[in-house]
Amino acid sequence: MAVQPIAARARSRWRPRAVLGFAGRHLVTVYGALVLLYLFLPIAVMVLFSFNEPKSRFNFVWQGFTLDAWTDPFAVPGLGDAMLLSLEIAAISTVIATTLGTLVAFALVRYRFRGSGPINLLILLPLTTPEIVIGASLLTLFLQMGVETGFMTIVIAHVMFNISYVVVIVRARLRGFDWTLEEAAMDLGANELQTFLKVTLPLMFPGVLAGALLAFALSLDDFIITLFNSGQEVTFPLFVWGAARVAVPPQINVMGTMIMVATVGLLALSILVQRARS
């Protein structure tokens, strides 16, 4: 009998706070959902308007549903070439940047260095410099050296900014790495090269794959740095930039949607590969 009043008092003491907490919890959750909606809106519009049948040169007003742009995505002159060029540049720059970046990340995690401060600075500065300054400064280098801008200079630029991203991603993955596995392999009679190829490399693979995927996506999407160093070449983002002033056909939305679906697909695949391995 004596217990009840105390419990009741305790409950009444806590109630306002509980109500406040409950309201707060849901208010914050609803607010968070609205922010996600804001992040989603342009993507939804992009996908929706890829099915539009615009009456003017610009794809601004919903006129009616059609699959025209999807059944003929390369109807717009130059669009297909631009997409192919972007994919080619992304593939080449990803291979180079992933190789170089992985070597750097491996060395930084595996060995101790005297000059690791400046080395870190050189890796992190490109990530914190405004892209427009990176693009402009690279252009001054090419002008100074008398190099004509074009395919090669775009690849050089993309490899440059991707190295830093690959190093950061691969290094983060390598930090939790159990190096005693290497020793175990050597104890079992493997030499250094065998150990590296059969033990170290497979264990590094998920991190390297993540770095490569990011590099590919960043290269495919890069606009600002590319604009400064492209010469006469037109990558997909440069094509969109040019189109934005003249005419925006729904095919551009189709490409944007396809890139998104492909990236999500690749990401899902890489997660599946990682799960299968572990």
Partner 1 sequence: MPFARLRPFLPYLLLLPGLAWLAIFFAAPMFTLAQSSLEEGAFETGFRFTWNWSNYSDAIQEFDTQFLRSFRYAGVATLLALVMGYPLAYVIAFRGGPLKNYLLFMVVLPFFTTYLIRTLAWQTIMSDEGQVVSALQTTGVMEVLDALRISQDGRLLATPTAVVTAITYNYLPFMVLPIYVSLERIDRRLVEAAQDLYGGPLRAFRTVVFPLSLPGVFAGSLLTFIPAVGDFVNARLLGNPNTSMIGNVIQSRFLVVLDYPLAAAISFILMALILVAVLIYARLLGTEDLAG
Integer Cα distance of 90 and 112 in angstroms: 33
Integer Cα distance of 218 and 204 in angstroms: 21
Nearer to partner 1, 2 or 75 (CB): 75
Q: For the CB of residue 2, give the shortest distance to partner 1 in the complex, in Å.
A: 25
Nearer to partner 1, 61 or 77 (CB): 61
Residue type present at position 7: A
Nearer to partner 1, 51 or 236 (CB): 236
Nearer to partner 1, 80 or 126 (CB): 126
Nearer to partner 1, 132 or 201 (CB): 132
Q: For the CB of residue 89, give the shortest distance to partner 1 in the complex, in Å.
A: 14
Q: Locate tokens 């175990």: which residue?
A: 184
255 token code pair? 């490409």
Q: For the CB of residue 62, give the shortest distance to partner 1 in the complex, in Å.
A: 7
Q: For the CB of residue 221, give the shortest distance to partner 1 in the complex, in Å.
A: 6
Q: For the CB of residue 214, give the shortest distance to partner 1 in the complex, in Å.
A: 10
